[in-house]
């Protein structure tokens, strides 16, 4: 499936009703953006913090005003400074040498990366809250209106959706300084007390309205903060009460993406506005291609999120859809909360009934109307091979377009494999439909694990094991017959969660000493709000749906954004790192069979797959939190090669006595006060890592450490117990890692602090490379 090629989500096309991927187009656009790096075009000039670089910024803009060749598209002037402009390569090089300029880089094009999901998280977590603490944190009123604002940077929003009704909401929070921009198809009145702001960015990206004609932004916004909508479904599938992670949130939409992708200059402009507007959480289901860094000063999301975090805004980003390739995770800056994707306990089953009375439980979403009895001829692709010598039997088995004979295919159900990867599922589906097939059975493990819609065309996907059964039947039977039933939703499916095959994996390309992704959340077949005038996903003869089903880390990200907003509402003074810590240290590593979470291949999931684990629905009682302060991020920048002068330009507040270590080593990053631990280039000699935890319950208590360590690695925690007093809520401990040799590759484990109420778990990875 093309989902492997980029940050795309599964969608439906009205003509071939197959898997429509934006990946190829966006991948080409991204490559073109990188190819243009040495040419004239739009460049971003980044000048660091508004608190440190204002004079240099004003002087530079004044000196450039008379250059007619320079057309400024964006001015970044609130929390950070800079601009985006049309420049020649020479002009860009000249500006890069000016005082106060941190970096100048070509404007990159970044890529876009429900009902059952929240119910699943709630009961799957197995967390029981006693009445005292439930009352204290007002957990039962998470649907109540609050003044927490989630900013969504995406493709815009469809304001008419019931998910964004403002019924029950009070006045717009006084802290809100944003606006609701007008356009030909979007009125100021389209905003309300729920959807309090909507912006779009015309310069460079060609966007003309805050309105979402794509659906992606509406889907993510409702997943994060949509109201509870009863009897929501996609034409009867996944029926239930759709709701966001924190329905009481207000929403501010920032349209930064259009048909050609998400321009970095627009993303920076949205960060600049959102910080000034007064949002509490920012949710970005988009990112660059893997390996874009580690130049964080050239990554629009890393730049914008750093300044947002400095201002107390929690930034949540998708990990990317380039999995299961190792090292494919993006949005890896330590100040970002990075989210991988997992499945929930709902499966979309499209059964295949064979003529020998065997029934195979296939997958996918189809609303076909074939007879329930297996009366249709089942034709294996190889049997339908055409006469062209250009194509061989392998091509025919894989239903490569033009490899099949029209007269043989017409009127039959075609059985196709996926052992040859030249063509996408979409192309194969379009091919068999064009030849007159009445149905398609597709053998593909990945397609079976992630349901996509083929509309009214009967198609079912099966894994390799079940596919072999059908292939054997089709080859051995003289007159093989079958039928494909319409899809039904099945809940309490096991095992769940499972890490999605497309979800990007660690380790981080930028530094192996920060563990990414941070957590996993539901991102497979998520039902959420959809533009009600979208004819692409509409079934013939029916009204457009108000909800649609998508998969991707794009869908996982807003789940965590909603949780972050819920925590912020209960703990308004918590920092972004405290919120991140609460979500990470309360995550679970077990599935609904009470066994360790696995990947879609059945292998045990590791922290490179799901970070600290699968989020739970109410991480409001973490007990202890790891607070990562701005100064820790500054030392991180030192460790990856930034000099002190550049760091002073980037950060708004740098202590007068701050200095980069004169003899930096790999352990400086590992010693960042992060909720997880990563150590690279470990040769067995003792390495000691420090962490500081804060008791957020403000009561006398004692925590005891326990260690999960792989064979051959000796891990010791000192002290073994932490005794907190009301006047002493911060304590530091050390972890010693030592081996007598023999460790290779990646070694995973965890350190857990427990008392009689809380369990605070931090994963670790020790790498030999």
pLDDT digits (tens, 9 = 90+) for 654-675: 999 999 987 766 688 999 999 9
Q: How far apart are alpha carbons 286 and 296 in whole angstroms?
A: 16
Domain final position from 466, 490, 514: 490
The answer to whether 434 and 23 have CB atoms below 8 angstroms apart is no
Alpha helices in 572-673 (DSSP H): 576-585, 607-610, 630-639, 644-650, 667-670
Whether residues 585 and 635 share a domain: the answer is: no
Domain final position from 457, 490, 523: 490
In a domain, 31, yes or no: no
Q: Give Cβ neighbours of residue 215 (< 8 Å, ≥ 6 apart).
A: 11, 155, 158, 530, 531, 534, 537, 548, 550
Q: Omega of the bond prior to 602 within 30 degrees of 0, cis?
A: no
Q: What does the pLDDT average to over 609-633?
A: 93
Confidence at 10, pLDDT banded by 50, 70, 90: very low
Whether residues 469 and 548 share a domain: the answer is: no
Whether residues 353 and 338 share a domain: the answer is: no
CATH number at 84 reads 3.30.70.80
The answer to whether 152 and 254 have CB atoms below 8 angstroms apart is yes
CATH number at 715 reads 2.60.40.2310
Tell me the CA distances in angstroms from 313 to 263, 414, 499, 579, 745, one per residue in order: 22, 52, 28, 10, 36
Q: What does the pLDDT average to over 293-321?
A: 92
Q: What does the pLDDT average to over 15-33?
A: 33
Interaxial angle between packed helices 553-570 and 576-585, expressed in degrees from 0 to 180 and rounded to the nearest 10: 110
Whether residues 196 and 285 share a domain: the answer is: yes
Reduced to 3 states, what is the DSSP secondary structure of residue 227?
coil
CA 294 from chain center: how many Å?
Answer: 19
Q: Which domain covers residue 742, as residue numbers? A: 628-767
Q: What does the pLDDT average to over 150-154?
A: 98
Reduced to 3 states, what is the DSSP secondary structure of residue 87?
strand
Query: Strand locations in 560-686, DSSP E?
Result: 598-599, 624-625, 677-679
CATH number at 443 reads 3.50.30.30
Whether residues 656 and 710 share a domain: the answer is: yes
Catalytic positions, please? 154, 216, 554
CATH number at 599 reads 3.40.50.200
Domain final position from 439, 464, 490: 490
Q: What does the pLDDT average to over 580-587?
A: 98
Tell me the CA distances in angstroms from 728 to 28, 577, 734, one per residue in order: 56, 20, 18
In a domain, 754, yes or no: yes
pLDDT of residue 138: 38
pLDDT of residue 761: 98
Confidence at 121, pLDDT banded by 50, 70, 90: low
Whether residues 319 and 197 share a domain: the answer is: yes
- For residue range 93-107, what is the model confidence (pLDDT) as tens digits? 999 999 999 999 999
Q: What does the pLDDT average to over 553-559?
A: 96
The answer to whether 413 and 391 have CB atoms below 8 angstroms apart is no
DSSP 549: E
- For residue range 199-220, what is the model confidence (pLDDT) as tens digits? 999 876 679 999 999 999 999 9
Q: What mean pLDDT is reported for the chain?
A: 89
- For residue range 672-721, what is the model confidence (pLDDT) as tens digits? 999 999 999 998 899 999 999 999 998 899 999 999 999 999 999 999 99
For residue 441, pLDDT beyond 90? yes
Phi, psi dihedrals of residue 499, rounded to the nearest 5°: -70, 125
In a domain, 66, yes or no: yes
pLDDT of residue 293: 55
Q: Omega of the bond prior to 495 within 30 degrees of 0, cis?
A: yes
pLDDT of residue 119: 55
In a domain, 612, yes or no: yes
Q: How far apart are alpha carbons 761 and 155 in whole angstroms?
A: 36
In a domain, 1, yes or no: no
Q: In this predicted model, which residue has the larger pLDDT, 81 or 72?
A: 81
Confidence at 113, pLDDT banded by 50, 70, 90: confident
For residue 140, pLDDT beyond 50? no
Whether residues 659 and 761 share a domain: the answer is: yes
Element containing residue 659 per DSSP (H, E): none
Q: In this predicted model, which residue has the larger pLDDT, 401 or 226?
A: 226
In a domain, 251, yes or no: yes
Whether residues 518 and 634 share a domain: the answer is: no
Confidence at 292, pLDDT banded by 50, 70, 90: low
Q: What does the pLDDT average to over 145-162?
A: 96
pLDDT of residue 296: 85
pLDDT of residue 202: 86
pLDDT of residue 230: 95
Q: What does the pLDDT average to over 273-295?
A: 88
Whether residues 138 and 100 share a domain: the answer is: no
Q: Please name the residue that has the structure tokens 């309360």.
A: 586
For residue 401, pLDDT beyond 90? no
pLDDT of residue 665: 64
In a domain, 75, yes or no: yes
Candidate from 23-32, 424-433, 578-587 with smallest mean pLDDT = 23-32
Candidate from 174-178, 422-426, 712-716 with smallest mean pLDDT = 422-426
Q: Number of structural domains, the chain?
A: 4
Phi, psi dihedrals of residue 372, rounded to the nearest 5°: -75, -20
The answer to whether 86 and 70 have CB atoms below 8 angstroms apart is yes
Q: Please name the residue that has the structure tokens 């005292």.
A: 132
> 204: alpha, beta or left, given left = phi > 0 and alpha = psi -120 to 50?
left
In a domain, 18, yes or no: no
Whether residues 288 and 156 share a domain: the answer is: yes
pLDDT of residue 619: 77
Per cent of the chain over pLDDT 90 is 76
Q: In this predicted model, which residue has the larger pLDDT, 26 or 223?
A: 223
pLDDT of residue 52: 81
Reduced to 3 states, what is the DSSP secondary structure of residue 85?
strand
For residue 33, pLDDT beyond 80? no
Whether residues 339 and 357 share a domain: the answer is: no
Alpha helices in 243-371 (DSSP H): 264-277, 300-310
Q: How far apart are alpha carbons 713 and 621 in whole angstroms?
A: 31
Whether residues 506 and 555 share a domain: the answer is: yes
For residue 455, pLDDT beyond 90? yes
pLDDT of residue 740: 84
Per cent of the chain over pLDDT 70 is 89
């Amino acid at each position: 499936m093309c989902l492997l090629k980029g940050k795309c989500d599964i969608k439906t096309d009205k003509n071939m009703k197959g898997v429509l991927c934006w990946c190829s187009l966006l991948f080409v656009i991204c490559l073109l953006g990188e190819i243009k790096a040495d040419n004239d075009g739009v460049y971003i000039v980044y000048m660091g913090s508004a608190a440190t670089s204002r004079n240099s910024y004003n002087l530079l803009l004044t000196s450039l005003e008379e250059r007619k060749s320079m057309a400024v598209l964006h001015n970044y002037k609130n929390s950070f400074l800079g601009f985006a402009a049309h420049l020649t390569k020479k002009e860009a090089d000249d500006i890069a040498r000016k005082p106060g300029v941190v970096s100048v880089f070509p404007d990159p094009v970044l890529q876009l990366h429900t009902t059952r999901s929240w119910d699943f998280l709630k009961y799957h977590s197995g967390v029981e809250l006693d009445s005292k603490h439930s009352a204290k944190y007002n957990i039962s009123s998470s649907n109540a209106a609050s003044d927490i604002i989630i900013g969504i940077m995406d493709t815009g929003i469809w304001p008419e959706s019931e998910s964004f009704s403002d019924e029950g909401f009070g006045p717009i929070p006084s802290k809100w300084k944003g606006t609701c921009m007008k356009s030909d198809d979007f009125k100021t009145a389209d905003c309300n007390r729920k959807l309090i702001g909507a912006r779009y960015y015309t310069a460079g990206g060609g966007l003309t309205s805050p309105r979402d004609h794509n659906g992606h932004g509406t889907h993510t916004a409702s997943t994060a903060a949509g109201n509870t909508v009863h009897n929501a479904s996609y034409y009867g599938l996944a029926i239930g009460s759709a709701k966001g992670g924190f329905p009481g949130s207000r929403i501010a939409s920032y349209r930064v993406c259009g048909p050609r992708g998400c321009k970095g200059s627009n993303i920076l402009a949205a960060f600049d506005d959102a910080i000034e507007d007064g949002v509490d959480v920012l949710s970005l289901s988009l990112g660059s291609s893997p390996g874009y860094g580690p130049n964080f000063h050239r990554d629009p999301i890393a730049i914008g999120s750093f300044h947002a975090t400095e201002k107390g805004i929690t930034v949540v980003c998708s990990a990317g859809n380039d999995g299961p390739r190792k090292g494919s995770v993006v949005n890896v800056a330590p100040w970002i909360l990075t989210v991988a994707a997992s499945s929930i306990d709902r499966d979309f089953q499209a059964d295949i009934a064979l003529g020998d009375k065997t029934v195979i439980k296939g997958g996918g979403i189809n609303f076909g109307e074939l007879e329930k009895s297996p009366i249709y001829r089942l034709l294996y692709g190889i049997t339908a091979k055409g006469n062209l010598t250009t194509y061989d039997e392998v091509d025919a088995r894989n239903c490569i377009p033009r490899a099949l004979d029209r007269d043989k295919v017409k009127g039959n159900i075609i059985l196709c494999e996926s052992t040859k990867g030249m063509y996408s599922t979409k192309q194969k589906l379009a091919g068999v439909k064009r030849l007159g097939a009445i149905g398609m059975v597709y053998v593909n493990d990945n397609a079976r694990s992630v349901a996509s819609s083929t509309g009214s065309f009967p198609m079912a996907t099966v894994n390799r094991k079940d596919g072999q059964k059908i292939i054997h039947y089709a080859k051995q039977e003289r007159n093989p017959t079958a039928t494909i039933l319409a899809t039904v939703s099945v809940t309490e499916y096991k095992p769940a969660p499972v890490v999605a095959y497309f979800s990007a994996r660690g380790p981080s390309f930028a530094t192996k000493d920060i563990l990414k992704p941070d957590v996993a959340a539901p991102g497979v077949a998520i039902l959420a709000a959809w533009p009600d005038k979208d004819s692409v996903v509409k079934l013939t003869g029916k009204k457009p749906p108000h909800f649609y089903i998508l998969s991707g880390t794009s869908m996982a990200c807003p789940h965590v954004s909603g949780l972050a907003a819920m925590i912020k509402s209960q703990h308004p003074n918590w920092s972004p790192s405290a919120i991140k810590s609460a979500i990470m240290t309360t995550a679970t590593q077990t599935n609904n069979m009470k066994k360790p979470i696995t990947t879609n291949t059945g292998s045990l999931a590791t922290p490179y797959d799901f970070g600290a684990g699968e989020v739970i629905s109410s991480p409001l009682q973490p007990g202890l939190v790891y607070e990562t302060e701005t100064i820790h991020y500054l030392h991180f920048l030192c460790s990856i090669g930034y000099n002190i002068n550049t760091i002073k330009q980037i950060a708004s507040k740098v202590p007068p006595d701050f200095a980069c270590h004169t003899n930096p080593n790999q352990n400086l990053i590992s010693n960042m006060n992060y909720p997880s631990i990563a150590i690279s280039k470990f040769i067995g000699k003792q390495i000691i890592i420090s962490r500081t935890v804060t008791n957020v319950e403000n009561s006398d208590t004692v925590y005891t450490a326990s260690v999960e360590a792989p064979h051959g690695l000796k891990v010791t925690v000192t002290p073994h117990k932490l005794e907190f007093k009301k006047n002493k809520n911060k304590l530091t401990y050390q972890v010693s890692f030592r081996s007598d040799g023999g460790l290779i590759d990646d070694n995973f484990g965890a350190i857990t602090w427990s008392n009689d109420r809380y369990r605070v778990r931090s994963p670790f990875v020790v790498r030999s490379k």
